[in-house]
Amino acid sequence: MSDPTTDTPRRSETKHRAILEAAARCVGRDGYAATSIEAVAAEAGVGKQTIYRWWPSKPALFVEVYSALVNRTLLSPDGAMAAAPPGRPVSELLRRLFGLYRSTPAGSILAGLIGAAAEDAQTRAAVRDGLVLGRRSILLDRIRGAAPAGTDRSRMEHVNDLIVSMIWQRLIMAPEDLTDSFADELAQLVDTVGHAR
Amino acid sequence: MSDPTTDTPRRSETKHRAILEAAARCVGRDGYAATSIEAVAAEAGVGKQTIYRWWPSKPALFVEVYSALVNRTLLSPDGAMAAAPPGRPVSELLRRLFGLYRSTPAGSILAGLIGAAAEDAQTRAAVRDGLVLGRRSILLDRIRGAAPAGTDRSRMEHVNDLIVSMIWQRLIMAPEDLTDSFADELAQLVDTVGHAR
Amino acid sequence: MSDPTTDTPRRSETKHRAILEAAARCVGRDGYAATSIEAVAAEAGVGKQTIYRWWPSKPALFVEVYSALVNRTLLSPDGAMAAAPPGRPVSELLRRLFGLYRSTPAGSILAGLIGAAAEDAQTRAAVRDGLVLGRRSILLDRIRGAAPAGTDRSRMEHVNDLIVSMIWQRLIMAPEDLTDSFADELAQLVDTVGHAR
Amino acid sequence: MSDPTTDTPRRSETKHRAILEAAARCVGRDGYAATSIEAVAAEAGVGKQTIYRWWPSKPALFVEVYSALVNRTLLSPDGAMAAAPPGRPVSELLRRLFGLYRSTPAGSILAGLIGAAAEDAQTRAAVRDGLVLGRRSILLDRIRGAAPAGTDRSRMEHVNDLIVSMIWQRLIMAPEDLTDSFADELAQLVDTVGHAR
DNA sequence: TCGTAATCGAGACGGTACGTCCCGTCTTTTC
DNA sequence: GAAAAGACGGGACGTACCGTCTCGATTACGA
């Protein structure tokens, strides 16, 4: 969506970052739905057209904002942990994710994107490509690590779907309930479903 | 939501029904997001204010439209089946539900409502009160009927949540995949999770 | 416009008066333009239809409200004075009229009616019939009394028109300038124009 | 109301003119009261917001429409006449003015504006500033030219007020009577009042 | 004395216009 | 010669009244 090496020349990386950060700030302040492109442009000190030049729509922009937030906070800073998580890797990952949703606008953004996806096919595609498919392995790898030996791949994917669905549902209907204990409850599913039969 | 004994007197039941039906027709034709209150009013041959008089917002209206569609099609007509479903009650219910989503705008409406709920707290409340809480027992009763004896209530509620989450997720991201085989797959969860440990 | 002997039987004279008074109160409080028929009905404790049953429109109602105010305050109470005004009859009448515009909503109502007449032919007719023609002689009689002997009728009517026009213009553009000295200034016209050549 | 140096930069002069012309056309077709901002926008092929961006209200727009009509038709085209009017300058001016009211929507607009001014203080101010004060000298100059030598300024202003009031009253109550003979009658006032005493 | 019919309060109804908001595109001006 | 600033066409929003209409409840006459 904005690979700096792929984008046309002359794009200012400074502006790019300023826009992403302004967008995050706006959502943090006003919420996803109440954030207009105009507001983001003003907040970033940028013309509206500069946003539309690089992103086709508000959801497309925020798919990238969400990615940036998650990448920066969840993965990059201590890549060590990401590479070698402690004993209960699924629960650990979810706790970190929910903490991110509490401390940054990422949760609001994701909820808003899911909402927008429900209403518009193009957004649906952007969300699927940008958020679902590209990030699937992050959780799936940990499920694989935690599942009993011999669990087949499709069952692990099934568990993955269950966990993601539950998170999405809560993100939309009761974001304040994305607690650590809910993370543990979801992590349980790996065993419950993995061991079944 | 429209209890005739609660509504102020003298509401025209004719208009009420005309509006619900017009709303369903509009969503069927244009989709949820592209349906405006103005369009519903025009389709129903009704003044805009007549809609705003009785529903505070578009989502509130469609919560009732959805309820009416589901009640009419899923529950009322052959109450017998509702009362005494055949052998695999969960799968049966879900198949009927998905069939409804394919043959009426109910699926589009629910997806749109979930999307709107993600963006607005008032809608969230309306959806929770009108769609989640009030309808929970429909599925839960069948899960109870299908679960192995001795399964405790909280586990059955957990299964209920899993199934509903999975449905919502698909409704938003891939409505065309709400197939009979997906219904069976979900019904499986009653055993998988119910039997665990 | 509401002759009690002409109106269909059974009309409640109580309501009739209540409506006129409520209307005057509303204009006094909110101004003519901001006064809706709904508000008058509520203020009078009367159904909207009860107003529309007897008056075809808002201006028609207020033509009568204005007449009632002027009749009650300007003419009736001390009819003696009306019959035998002191030395400078025109100036005296205008001072009394301007006082009425300051102490009651009559001025606002007349201004509003003139405004409405400008926008709608029916109102124009109602104003002409109810306010202009019917009341012409009140001022004209006094002009006749004050004009030099031998002044012909058409010249007196011309003076009458001049005075009325000047009042209307001020009523609309600067109602606060309907002062006693303006009354005197207008009364001067009787001599100025009357004596000319 | 539209000084190009005062308006914020980048206003499209094309649209500006298109709106003024569309507004005149609408009033000519439907009358002032029946002309909505929406209709003007549609007629001009312009978004409603483009009108609201530059004029705060319908009367403000039409003050400018009126000015444009009068300037174009009464003053500019043959400036010669404006500079050196023939023998009876007041009568001549009024005849031209009444002709304008007959041949363009200017009369309807002025009547509507006067009506609106009666109902709303803001409009009153707009009319006073835009139509009364700014245009006063057009007539006053001609009165000065026609009045007997030695007539003092305040008396000439008085005559001016009388003439304007009479015109307004007729514009509202009987626009079809703004005839040439009425123009002459009004012009008479210059002598009648000017010579008095 | 009582129907019975019109009037009444209440307010729902189809409509029209309002003035605001934001979308995504287009245009001008500035650096 | 790119980008800020923001004007633009468009379309939906939710509100306010308009004047008409439909309800029972009340009221006041004529039988």
**Cα-to-chain-centroid distance, residue A90:** 16
**What residue in C sits closest to D131 (Cα-Cα)?**
C173
**In this complex, which residue's CA is closest to the C1' atom of nucleotide E12?**
B11
What whole-number distance in Å separates Cα of residue B4 and Cα of residue A187? Answer: 46
To the nearest whole Å, the CA of C128 is away from the closest chain D CA by 8
Nearest nucleotide by C1' position to the B57 CA atom: F14
HEC secondary structure over chain D = CCCCCCCCCCCCHHHHHHHHHHHHHHHHHHCCCCCCHHHHHHHHCCCHHHHHHHCCCHHHHHHHHHHHHHHHHHHCCCHHHHHCCCCCHHHHHHHHHHHHHHHCCHHHHHHHHHHHHHHCHHHHHHHHHHHHHHHHHHHHHHHHHHCCCCCCHHHHHHHHHHHHHHHHHHHHHCHHHCCHHHHHHHHHHHHHHHHCC
The nearest alpha carbon in chain D to C128 belongs to D173
Q: Which residue has the tokens 């005004």?
A: C85
| Domain spans of chain B, in order of start | 58-195
Question: What pLDDT shows up at residue A1?
Answer: 43
Give yes or no for residue C80 having a pLDDT over 50: no
On the question of pLDDT at D161 being above 80, the answer is yes
The answer, yes or no, to whether residue D131 has pLDDT greater than 80, is: yes
Q: Tens digits of per-residue pLDDT, C175-195? A: 999 999 999 999 999 988 877
Minimum distance, in Å, between the CA of residue A14 and any CA atom of chain B? 30
- From chain C, pick out residues whose CB is under 8 angstroms from the CB of D173: 117, 124, 127-128, 132
For D50, other C-beta atoms within 10 Å of its C-beta total: 17
Predicted pLDDT of residue D80: 42
B169 touches chain A (CB under 8 A): yes
Interface touch B120/A33, C-beta < 8 Å: yes
Whether residues A115 and B111 touch (CB distance < 8 A) is answered with no
Query: Do residues B108 and B192 lie in contact, with contact meaning Cβ atoms separated by under 8 Å?
Result: no
Query: Whole-number Å distance, CA D39 to C1' F10?
Result: 14
Decide: B173 and A113 in contact? Cβ < 8 Å. Answer: no
Average pLDDT for residues A152-173, to the nearest whole number?
Answer: 94
Cα–Cα distances in angstroms (integers) from residue D54 to residues C107, D45, D62, in the given order: 33, 16, 12
Q: What is the share, in percent, of chain D residues with pLDDT greater than 90?
A: 71
Query: Does residue C48 carry a pLDDT above 80?
Result: yes
If one counts every other C-beta atom within 10 angstroms of the C-beta of residue B168, the result is 21
Overall residue count recorded for chain D in this entry: 197
Q: Which residues of C112-139 are buried (b: 16+ CB within 10 A; e: fewer)?
A: bbbbbbbbbeebbebbeebbeeebeeeb
Distance D48 CA to E19 C1' (A): 10
Work out the minimum CA distance from B157 to partner chain A, whole angstroms.
13
pLDDT tens, position by position, D22-72: 999 999 999 999 999 999 999 999 999 999 999 999 999 999 999 999 988
Segment C90-111 mean pLDDT: 94
Residue bearing the bigger pLDDT, C2 or C152: C152
Average pLDDT, chain B: 88
Contact B123, B59 (CB under 8 A): yes
Number of C–D residue contacts, CB under 8 Å? 95
Q: What is the third-level CATH fold of A57-195?
A: Tetracycline Repressor; domain 2 (1.10.357)
The whole-number average pLDDT for the span A131-139 is 86
Please name the residue of chain A whose CA is at the shortest distance from the CA of residue B124. A173
Query: Considering the domain D66-195 in this protein, what is its CATH number?
Result: 1.10.357.10
Q: Which residues of A touch B187 (CB under 8 A)?
A: none
**Widest Cα–Cα separation across chain A:** 59
- Residue A149: per-residue pLDDT: 81
Please judge whether D119 and C33 are an interchain contact, meaning their C-beta atoms are less than 8 angstroms apart. Answer: yes
Percentage of chain D with pLDDT > 70?
Answer: 88
CA dist A197 and A187 (Å) reads 19
Q: Which residues contact B172 (CB under 8 A, 6 or more apart)?
A: A114, A117, A118, A124, B111, B114, B115
CA-to-CA dists, residue D163 to A114, C143, D95, D169, D193, angstroms? 70, 20, 13, 10, 11
Q: Which residue out of B63, B161, B163, B166 would a mutagenesis test of the A interface target, given it has the greatest number of A Cβ atoms within 10 Å?
A: B166
Taking the CA of residue C104 and the nearest CA in chain D, the distance in Å comes to 17
Residues C10-26 have a mean pLDDT of 88
Of A116, A169, A193, the CB nearest to B168: A169
pLDDT score recorded for residue C73 = 77
Interface contacts (A, B; CB < 8 Å): 93
Q: Give the pLDDT score at C21.
A: 95
Q: Is the pLDDT of residue C40 over 90?
A: yes
pLDDT digits (tens, 9 = 90+) for A28-51: 999 999 999 999 999 999 999 999
Q: How far apart are CA B105 and CA C26, in angstroms?
A: 50
Residues of C in contact with D27 (CB under 8 A): none
Q: Could you say which architecture CATH assigns to the domain B58-195?
A: Orthogonal Bundle (1.10)
> Crossing angle, helix C180-195 and helix C136-146, to 10 degrees?
60
Q: What is the pLDDT of residues B166-195, one digit of tens each?
A: 999 999 999 999 999 999 999 999 988 877
Residues of chain D contacting C168 with CB distance shorter than 8 Å: 165, 168-169, 172
Contacts of D166 in chain C (CB under 8 A): 161-162, 165
Cβ–Cβ contact C192 with D under 8 A: yes
At residue A79 the predicted structure's pLDDT band, cuts being 50, 70 and 90, is: very low
pLDDT digits (tens, 9 = 90+) for B74-92: 765 554 455 555 678 899 9
Kindly report the average pLDDT of chain A as a whole number: 86
Q: Do chains B and A touch (3 or more CB pairs under 8 A)?
A: yes
- The Cα A182–Cα A177 span in angstroms is 7
CB contacts, 8 Å: A112 with chain B:
118-119
Angle at A85 between CA A79 and CA A91, to 5 degrees: 120
Least confident of B106-110, B191-195, C15-19: B191-195
Q: Which pLDDT tens digit goes with each residue over C133-154?
A: 888 999 999 999 998 888 899 9
At B161, is the pLDDT very low, low, confident or very high (cuts 50, 70, 90)? very high
Residue % of chain A over a pLDDT of 70: 87
- Which nucleotide lies nearest residue C45, CA to C1'? E9
Cα–Cα nearest to D89, from D132, D144, D156, D137: D144
Report chain D's mean pLDDT, rounded to a whole number: 88
- pLDDT computed for residue C8 by the predictor: 45
pLDDT at C4: 37
Which pLDDT score, from 0 to 100, does residue C196 have? 65
Distance D34 CA to E30 C1' (A): 44
**Most confident listed range (B137-146, C76-85, C188-197):** B137-146
Closest partner residue to C173 among D32, D117, D193, by Cβ? Answer: D117
